[in-house]
Structure 1
Amino acid sequence: MSRKKLVRFKENEENPNVIQDGKAIFESIKGNWNEVQFKNTNPIVVELACGRGEFTVGLGRVFRDQNFIGVDIKGSRIWKGSSTATAEGIHNVAFLRTQIELLDRFFAEGEISELWITFPDPFPRDGDEKRRLTSPRFLDMYKPLLKKGGTVHFKTDNTGLFDYSLALFQEREDINLLGFTHDFYESEWKDDHLGIQTRYEKMFSEKGEKIKYLKFQFKD
């Protein structure tokens, strides 16, 4: 392991905005994010596969009356967002280092107000369907964690993943699809995101890729 990574991992261990294995809070945070981590009662917004945390931190800068949590397994990636939030004094941002399939071990029923799935791995092979973050397996996990009326946002550059997800959401009786577009930056929703982009979103957009977007809620 490189010296740079070792330094970053050490800083993650010391930074209170990183929740990871080895910290006491890691085992007790479920159902206690507001009280223990943020010390307020503001709504909790979670970004899955947050990478370096550009989107999580960007939202935290703008919406100080909400709490934002980026989830990723890569500690060296999380370090970037964690360090940025610390340097800028953004106290409504935190990062959870874990596998996304373990999400329900860290959030209680109804604890999440909004969920973002941003540019996840498309896992294009049919045999990998269950690994897609928009697959039935994951949807069934997200549903109880969201508050009633909580919104799920999904953004991707991958047409195959988007079409798969859209068809699935339209078929499910427990999903209320609120809208979708195959070209986000020519849609009615582009200004709602205030220009905040993930690293991959910026990279794909600069290459001329169309960004796909949809949002939905689970029915009561």
Structure 2
Amino acid sequence: MGKNKLKKFNDIAQMDCVVECPFAMLSDEGFPMRGKWNETFFKNKGKIVLELGCGKGEYTVGLARRYPECNFIGIDIKGARLWTGAKEVTSCNIPNAAFLRTTIDLLPKFFAPSEVSEIWITFPDPQMKKENKRLTGTRFMELYRRVLAPGAMIKLKSDSQFLYEYTLAMAAHNGITVAQSSRDLHNDPSAPDELKQIRTFYEQQWLDRGLTIKYISMIVPEENTPALTEPEVEIPFDTYRSYFRGEIPGQEPK
């Protein structure tokens, strides 16, 4: 492991806005703030909003600045990525933003039923060959509704035509209400400003390459409704892939 990563891991361990919990503690004692994030961590009654697979936390920080009355938590397993957003939250003293270092599979261990008011999924890997790893697939949707409040919204931003079409098909198949969808978000006059002005690293990459950004917001049924099932559809795969961070735009990766 490089010295830079080690330094970042050491930095986030000292940051009050970053929460980490050893798996052994989760198994033996449970997470002490589960169901008590507002009371124990934020010390207010604001709605809790999650950004899943947050990376550098562009949306976590951007939304926290825009909506100080709500509390935002970026979730990612890679601490070196979280460092960027956590450093900004710390240096700028943003009280309603935090980061949780864990895997998305463990959400119900960190949040109680109905504790979360909204979920953002920003530019995830579409996982075209592995439906059980898609963040809008039914396996993950079942996890989300174990922590979401009734009527809560899930919002997806993606460059992937495959993931966009799949998510719409999954929603239709399961009777999930789609509140809004757009195939070309940045040219959609009805789209809220926050969807255009807050941009992730990958979003800017796609825009620079001339690709369109897709958006879906949907209301997930409550947990006690019938189990969600996968749609039987065939959707063409995307034919491009992302650059790694640090690659030169305009030069196709090998």
Distance 1:162 1:218 in 2: 16
TM-score (norm: length of structure 2): 0.81
Matched, 1:171 2:173: yes
Choose which of 145, 157, 168 in structure 1 pairs with 2:147.
145
Distance 2:8 2:221 in 1: 42
Kindly state the Cα deviation for residue 90 of structure 1 after the two structures are TM-superposed.
Answer: 0.4
Partner residue of 2:96?
Answer: 92
Could you give the per-residue CA deviations for residues 31-55 of structure 1, whole angstroms, max 9, x where no partner exists?
1110111011100010000000111
Could you give the per-residue CA deviations for residues 34-83 of structure 1, whole angstroms, max 9, x where no partner exists?
01110111000100000001111011111111100000000000011000
RMSD: 1.7
- Structure 1's unaligned 5+ residue stretches are none
Partner residue of 1:182?
Answer: 183
Contact 1:184–1:190 (CA under 8 A) maintained in structure 2: no
Amino acid at match of 2:103: Q
Relative to its length, the structure with more helix (as a share) is 1
Contact 1:72–1:78 (CA under 8 A) maintained in structure 2: yes
Distance 2:22 2:218 in 1: 35
Could you give the per-residue CA deviations for residues 184-217 of structure 1, whole angstroms, max 9, x where no partner exists?
1122114243611111111111211100001011
1:1-220 correspondence runs (5 A): 1-22=1-22, 27-125=31-129, 128-173=130-175, 175-187=176-188, 188-193=190-195, 195-219=197-221
4+ residue segments displaced more than 6 Å? 23-26
Q: Which has the larger radius of gyration?
A: 2
- Structure 2's unaligned 5+ residue stretches are 223-254
Could you give the per-residue CA deviations for residues 66-115 of structure 1, whole angstroms, max 9, x where no partner exists?
10000000000001100011111101100011111111111110001111
Contact 2:185–2:196 (CA under 8 A) maintained in structure 1: no
Kindly state the Cα deviation for residue 138 of structure 1 after the two structures are TM-superposed.
Answer: 0.6
* Number of residues of Structure 1 aligned to a counterpart in Structure 2: 217
